[in-house]
Amino acid sequence: MEYSLWTREIEDDIIPHCRELGIGIVAYSPLGIGFFGGKAVVERLPNESVLSSNPRFTGENLEKNKVLYARLANLAVKHGCTPSQLALAWVLHQGKEIIPIPVIKLWFCLKMELKSEIQIPRVKLGSQGLEVTVLGFGCMGLSGLINAPLSHEAGCSVIKEAYKRGITFFDTSDAYGQKRDNEIMVGKALKQLPREKIQLATKFGFTISEDGEFGVKGTPEYVRECCEASLKRLDVEYIDLYYQHRVDTSVPIEDTMGELKKLVEEGKIMYIGLSEPSPDTIRRAHAVHPITALQMEYSLWTREIEDDIIPLCRELGIGIVAYSPLGIGFFGGKAVVESLPNESVLSSNPRFTGENLEKNKVLYARLANLAVKHGCTPSQLALAWVFHQGKDIIPIPGTTKVHNLVNNIGSLAVKLTEEDLQEISDAVPVNEVAGERDEPFILKYEWKHANTPIKTISD
């Protein structure tokens, strides 16, 4: 029997009768003759297609039915799946005696439907020996900033779910959380997980004065003070990867690195990282002690590091950890933009406000259209694009919702050719991105302004 979200006439008579007599039901056209397979089904119908004369696919009827598809697509984002997956899941949940038989012509569509149990590979991060999962988890958002903060119990549940699904690389900082307590939350979660299987990254360097002013500090004394405090908050004996969160441009990087090197020798940290350093700072720091990884913002709409930073890292054998790989959540879906709470930091981000936001929505729409072609969600396509930039680039998207976590893991099933990557890059050209990537008081600490004083003999 034909049975789908938009063809349900059999529910009142046929299904009850079959259940009474013990007769199974095989549902043909469970995706509505392909309608719920995506926009491309409708927009690319060949003239000879039988659907070109189907009443639901023509004229005013088609326009009305597109509204139904749009509603389903919005719900699919919420559930971290494609519209077709949600439509098919609905059929599967109507009863074990109902067996859908969708027709899938393209292999990538079938592959996307079967991606629920994905094994997350492991790779070397940098050249110093640290091994991590190719997808990390950024814990910052669990303590608020973009959305409302989670309780420690709820945050721990998300972290444990990420581990259960194969992620072992977790990122935090002593600056995260309204009470700067993100490390405490992460530490509580780690107590419920096998520590030896976790790669824990945290950071130091940001300061906040009593009047709320941001600053950066990288003196040797402060490096040690912060490390000792992080070890205590996390309640661990060592930190796998310890980053300088932002470079202190008043302190020679050799001084900062010298103290970090001592912490490695003492076994308090295993590997050293930097976040947002300049090329000159990278070379000088690496000469003191090998840098394992840089944490840099990198996504479809933030690609400034491609010309200088990425080539330098590859020359020196330094890995790259990409923060905000979904464009601070922009490519996570329309709901990210349309439901931002007033207290969200994004409400003052240049790319999420006024005319800039309207321009950037055009870029999202282009990506969404390409996602339909690839049988995935826009966020999966954006994340897959990052994965395909190189095995030395590890994205660490964060989320407060398990369905988004599952969606992010699903991006590993999206395979892209060089032509696909170019098409995606062209759909979101960086010269069309409206607005700076952050507010001025943050941008002054970005890598372009992160040179440090030359260390003299007298120093």
DSSP 270-303: EEEEEES--HHHHHHHHHHS---EEEEE-BTTB-
**41 vs 216, higher pLDDT:** 216
Query: Does residue 36 contact residue 4 with C-beta atoms inside 8 Å?
Result: yes
Mean pLDDT of 290-308: 98
Residue bearing the bigger pLDDT, 441 or 386? 386
Q: Is the pLDDT of residue 117 over 80?
A: no
At residue 287 the predicted structure's pLDDT band, cuts being 50, 70 and 90, is very high
| Model pLDDT, residue 213 | 83
* The pLDDT value given to residue 170: 99
pLDDT at 211 over 50: yes
Q: What is the per-residue pLDDT for 318?
A: 99
Examine the pLDDT at 40 and tell me if it is beyond 50: yes
Per-range mean pLDDT, top range of 175-179, 338-342, 445-449: 445-449
131 Cβ partners below 8 Å, 6+ apart? 122, 123, 124, 125, 199
pLDDT for 344 equals: 74
CB 204 within 8 A of CB 231: no
Amino acid identity at 52: S
Going through 238-362 in order, the beta strands assigned E by DSSP cover: 239-244, 269-275, 293-297, 319-323
Contact 254, 288 (CB under 8 A): yes
For residues 57 and 312, what is the distance between their CA atoms, to the nearest angstrom? 53
The CATH classification number of 122-449 equals 3.20.20.100
Q: Which residue's entry shows tokens 């892209």?
A: 416
- Decide: 387 and 395 in contact? Cβ < 8 Å: yes
Write down how long the chain is.
459
Nearest to 227 by CA among 277, 139, 219, 255: 219
pLDDT in tens, 47-62: 666 677 889 988 899 8
By percentage, how much of the chain surpasses pLDDT 70?
91
Give pTM, 2 decimals. Answer: 0.80
Share the mean pLDDT of the chain: 90
Residue of 220, 218, 215, 243 whose CA lies nearest to 230: 243
Return d(Cα 358, Cα 363) in angstroms, integer: 9
Map out the domains of the chain as residue ranges: 9-103, 122-449
What pLDDT was estimated at residue 106?
44
Q: Looking at residues 136-140, what average pLDDT do you find? A: 98
Q: Predicted confidence band at 38 (pLDDT cuts at 50, 70, 90)?
A: low
The pLDDT tens digits for 95-114 are: 999 999 987 554 444 444 44
Question: What does the pLDDT look like over 157-188, one tens digit per residue?
Answer: 999 999 999 999 999 999 999 888 999 999 99
Q: Is a pLDDT exceeding 70 seen at residue 32?
A: yes
Q: What is the pLDDT of residues 229-284, one digit of tens each?
A: 999 999 999 999 999 999 999 999 999 999 999 999 999 999 999 999 999 999 99
Residues 257 and 219: their CA atoms lie apart, in Å, by: 10
Give the residue-averaged pLDDT of 115-122.
77
Q: How confident is the model at residue 332 (pLDDT cuts 50, 70, 90)?
A: confident
3-state secondary structure of 193: coil
Residue from 203, 209, 212 nearest 275 by CA:
203
Choice among 3, 69, 176, 364 that is catalytic: 176
Instruction: Give the H/E segment covering residue 208.
Output: strand 206-208
Segment 353-383, tens digit of pLDDT: 889 999 999 999 999 989 888 888 899 999 9
Assess whether 176 carries a catalytic annotation: yes
Question: Between 36 and 311, where is the model more confident?
Answer: 311
pLDDT of residue 108: 44
